[in-house]
Amino acid sequence: MNPLTFTSGNLLADRRADYAEMLFENGDYKAATTLLGDALQLVPGWAAGHYRHGEMLAEAGEIAAAVEAWRTVLRLDGKDRLGAALKLELHGALDGLGAVPSAFVETLFDQYADTFDTTLVDRLSYRVPQLLDEALLRVGRESFAHAVDLGCGTGLMGERLRARVSFLEGIDISAEMLRRAAGKQIYDRLARADLSALADFPRAADLVTAADVFMYLGALERLFAVAGASLAPGTLFVFSVEHHTGPEAMVLRASRRYAHSEPHLRAVLTQAGFDPVLLEKATIRMDRGEPIEGLIVVAERVGNETRPADPAIISRRKERPRAH
């Protein structure tokens, strides 16, 4: 996302910002940061400008100034629609965020909706819906009564599921993504919701999918606990994550997406009452010319009774840690 798609409302400031972008693209980072800084003197309340200024400052090696620019963004926009908190975490100025700000995810995908399909499939070789579909076939499950497609976006996963699902519903935080999905007429029901605050799943669901969703969620314990408390034994939970091979449970990458380790993923699934019946590595898409390795997971809800989820986990909404 280029935050300068949001104009400042001041023609002179916008012209200086545009020229700063030209300087930046030509490698003159110092001049670019100076000129954009001058523009911000004219519009000190321009959150998107401060965000971009932080990016330029970081590229110029002025990390302390970049951190201050992103702190300014948070002061101006408490919802953090530009994801400044993620930049702070990446640069060591914020600890333990553990989640992508919901307003950032909503803003990002509202902007991205019109070009989402072509960009993801054609330019980034996105394969997750295909990989999840093939994984379902390999575990011998070919038809379902009621499927819930989490983070359904424009419906790329739904297109794969439609022929073998009697009732298909999609959930997404982005109204623009849902508008695109509705236009395809593949879902029986669409709903706008924030997965980080989801309270339950339909008890009737026998399949829940999440294609390239959890890297924008971060910590998975709460959502998995809700799924375990809501879904009946035998229900399949099918999803992808970006794969992290280090000792940490999850890490925030420069892309501002979270990657999860396999041992942590298995532990969270088991705690929530799921048995991972298939878990394998695969290239899920390209990013800046490099393949991104992910984990393709098919997990089954086990047990004769629905396991009560820890109320503290389900009710807890993670507060943004204090920047330092």
H, E, C per residue of 185-231: CCCCEEEECCHHHCCCCCCCCCEEEECCCHHHCCCCHHHHHHHHHHC
Where do the domains of the chain lie? 8-96, 112-315
pLDDT at res. 282 = 97
CATH superfamily of 112-315: Vaccinia Virus protein VP39 (3.40.50.150)
SS3 state at 78: coil
The conformation of residue 5, written as its DSSP 8-state character, comes to G
* Cα within 13 Å of Cα(251), Cβ side: 14
95 to each of 40, 78, 261, 321, how far by Cα in Å?
A: 28, 18, 19, 7
Would you say 239 and 276 are in contact if contact means Cβ atoms under 8 Å apart?
Answer: no
* Sign of the CA dihedral with 187 first, then 188, 190, and 191 last: negative
Q: For residue 47, what are its two tokens?
A: 């959150």
Would you say 3 and 16 are in contact if contact means Cβ atoms under 8 Å apart?
Answer: no
Residue 301 bridge partners (DSSP)? 274
- Degrees (nearest 5) of the Cα angle 9, 52, 83? 100
Number of H helices, E strands in the chain: 13, 9
Residue 280 bridge partners (DSSP)? 296
pLDDT at res. 323 = 55
pLDDT at res. 258 = 96
Fold exhibited by the domain 8-96: 1.25.40
The tens place of each residue's pLDDT in the chain, 324 residues long, gives 344 347 899 999 999 999 999 999 999 999 999 999 999 999 999 999 999 999 999 999 999 999 999 999 999 999 999 999 999 999 999 887 788 999 999 999 999 898 988 888 878 889 999 999 999 999 999 899 999 999 999 999 999 999 999 999 999 999 999 999 999 999 999 999 999 999 999 999 999 999 999 999 999 999 999 999 999 999 999 999 999 999 999 999 999 999 999 999 999 999 999 999 999 999 999 988 899 999 999 999 998 544 444 444 444 444 455 555
Phi, psi of 233 (to 5 degrees): -55, 140
